[in-house]
Amino acid sequence: MNGARIHGIVLSGVGGQGVLSMAQIVLEALRRSGFHALQSEIHGMSQRGGSVHAQVCYADQPISSPLIDDGCADLLIALEPLEALRYVPMLRISGHLVVAEDPIADMEGYPPLEDVHAALRAVRGSHLLDTEALARKLAHKQAGGMALLGMASRFLPVAESLWQEVIAQRFAAKGEKVTAKNLEAFEAGRNLIGEGVGA
């Protein structure tokens, strides 16, 4: 590597969990922060409860590749622990991983959850979130995703106010209450990771 630095984010989960909409929030936040950014996603068959992932690339200069190579992602945001493990090799040695602990295990051959968690904890730079406990605490069933995004936000060069702006716009159509709940979840996640850890 002797040239420009291009940053990559991988988002993963299971079809229906909201991976693609989270990727769009991240893309929009980076774009409004002045970066050249693009996002890649796969639609169709995989959205029916299969493994889903999206990628966001950003840089100071125009970029054109929709795909990130293995070992080139700076951040992995995973809504499901097994789907996190699948993409760990995409992370740079210095990369970070934020991941929901709660599994979607309605499939054959899902490894013992404690093994999955142990494998994730063994990854340097990993941050696990007990999404279920947080959802209970905030009395908000869907809090997990936004909280993960809050954690991830510590590793991205986007101002806190800009995140809030993008999230508020995203949920505007669903009313003030839903927006407030999601902003609260974002903040709760953001507060779980100390300031200045990331970029």
Partner 1 sequence: MTQHTLALGVEAAAQAAFDAGIKGAFGYPGTPSTEGFEYAEALVKQDAGGGRVAHWAANEKVAYDLALGMSYAGHRSLVTMKHVGLNVAMDAYANSALTGVQGGLVLLVADDPGMHSSQNEQDSRRLAEFAWLPCLEPSTVQEAYDFTWRAFELSEALQVPVMLRLVTRLAHCRAPFQRRPTLAPTGVGLTPKTRVQDWVLIPSNARRRYVDLLAKQPRLREAAATLNRIAPGTGRRGVALAGLGRAYFGQLVLEHSELAALPRLEVAAYPVDPELEQAFLGQVDEVLVFEEDYPVLEERLGMRGRARVRGRLDGAVPRTGELSPRVLKDALGLATPEGKAAAGLELPVRAPRFCEGCGHVDAYEAIQEALRNVGAPEARVFGDIGCYTLAAQEPLAAIHAVVEMGASISMAVGAAFAGQTPSVAVIGDSTFAHSGLPALLTAAEARANVTVVVLDNRVVGMTGQQPSQALDQVERLVLGLGIPEADLQVLTPLPSRHGDNVAAMEAALRHAGPSVVVFRRECIQSLRRGVLKEHDREAREHAACPSCTPEVVR
Where do contacts with partner 1 occur on this chain (CB under 8 A)? 1-4, 6, 14-15, 24, 27-28, 31, 37-51, 59, 61, 63-73, 82-83, 85-86, 88-93, 95, 107-111, 115-116, 118-119, 122-125
């508020």: which residue's tokens? Answer: 168
Q: What's 112's DSSP letter?
A: P
Q: CB-wise, 37 or 134, nearer to partner 1?
A: 37
Task: Please state, in angstroms and as integers, the Cα–Cα distance from residue 143 to each residue in 44, 82, 99, 183, following that order.
Answer: 26, 20, 13, 9
Amino acid at 183: L
* CB of 17 vs partner 1, minimal distance in Å: 12
* CB of 56 vs partner 1, minimal distance in Å: 9
Collapsing DSSP states into helix, strand and coil, what is residue 7?
strand
Q: CB-wise, 73 or 148, nearer to partner 1?
A: 73
Q: What's 141's DSSP letter?
A: T
Residue 78 near residue 45 (C-beta atoms within 8 A): no
Task: Give the burial class of 168: count Cβ atoms within 10 A of its Cβ; 0-12 exposed, 13-18 middle, 19 or more buried.
Answer: middle
The token pair that represents 166 in the structure block: 């993008």
Q: CB-wise, 27 or 77, nearer to partner 1?
A: 27
* CB of 34 vs partner 1, minimal distance in Å: 12
Q: CB-wise, 69 or 195, nearer to partner 1?
A: 69
- CA–CA dist 150, 139 (Å, integer): 17
Q: CB-wise, 71 or 175, nearer to partner 1?
A: 71
- CA–CA dist 169, 167 (Å, integer): 5
Q: CB-wise, 33 or 46, nearer to partner 1?
A: 46
Helix (H) or strand (E) holding 108: none
* CB of 119 vs partner 1, minimal distance in Å: 3
* CB of 130 vs partner 1, minimal distance in Å: 20
* CB of 188 vs partner 1, minimal distance in Å: 27
